[in-house]
Amino acid sequence: SQELEQSPQSLIVQEGKNLTINCTSSKTLYGLYWYKQKYGEGLIFLMMLQKGGEEKSHEKITAKLDEKKQQSSLHITASQPSHAGTYLCGAEATGGFKTIFGAGTRLFVKA
């Protein structure tokens, strides 16, 4: 079965610093989604990537899907306290019509 591994599991950064979160798949990715979750709340969709080499940005968050389509990175520039939360990657599971998720990366931003 396909698995998604996220790294790091948690991250503490000083406000204003840049950071990167990675999501690695055990199989080729046909659609990769990034979600953000605030503590105890539901997931909020951030971005979707489908093509190898694709890059998308929303405000200070940029996500990339590598050419081989087995890894994605989420980069936050000049982090702010509002960026704090858990970031999860999700992917269309091969051979099915459902999404699988990584375990998440918990981000803390120190003011």
Partner 1 sequence: DADVTQTPRNRITKTGKRIMLECSQTKGHDRMYWYRQDPGLGLRLIYYSFDVKDINKGEISDGYSVSRQAQAKFSLSLESAIPNQTALYFCATSPQGQETQYFGPGTRLLVL
- Residues with Cβ within 8 Å of 77's Cβ and at least 6 positions away in sequence, in order, are 18, 60, 61, 62
Is 47 in contact with 56 (CB distance < 8 Å)? yes
Our finding on whether 74 is near partner 1 (CB under 8 A) is no
Our finding on whether 85 is near partner 1 (CB under 8 A) is no
Distance (Å, rounded) from C-alpha 10 to C-alpha 6? 10
Query: Greatest CA separation found in the chain?
Result: 44
Minimum distance from residue 35 beta carbon to partner 1 (Å): 8
Minimum distance from residue 102 beta carbon to partner 1 (Å): 6
Nearer Cβ to partner 1, position 35 or 79?
35
Our finding on whether 33 is near partner 1 (CB under 8 A) is yes
Our finding on whether 31 is near partner 1 (CB under 8 A) is yes
Binding span for partner 1 by CB under 8 A among 12-20, 36-44, 56-64, 66-74: 36-44
Q: Are strands 85-92 and 43-49 parallel, antiparallel or unpaired?
A: unpaired
The neighbouring-strand residues paired with 13 are: 109
How many residues lie near partner 1 (CB under 8 A)? 24
Q: What's the one-letter identity of residue 72? A: S
The residues of the shown chain that bind partner 1, judged by CB under 8 A, are 1, 4, 9, 31, 33, 35, 40-45, 48, 88, 90, 92, 97-104
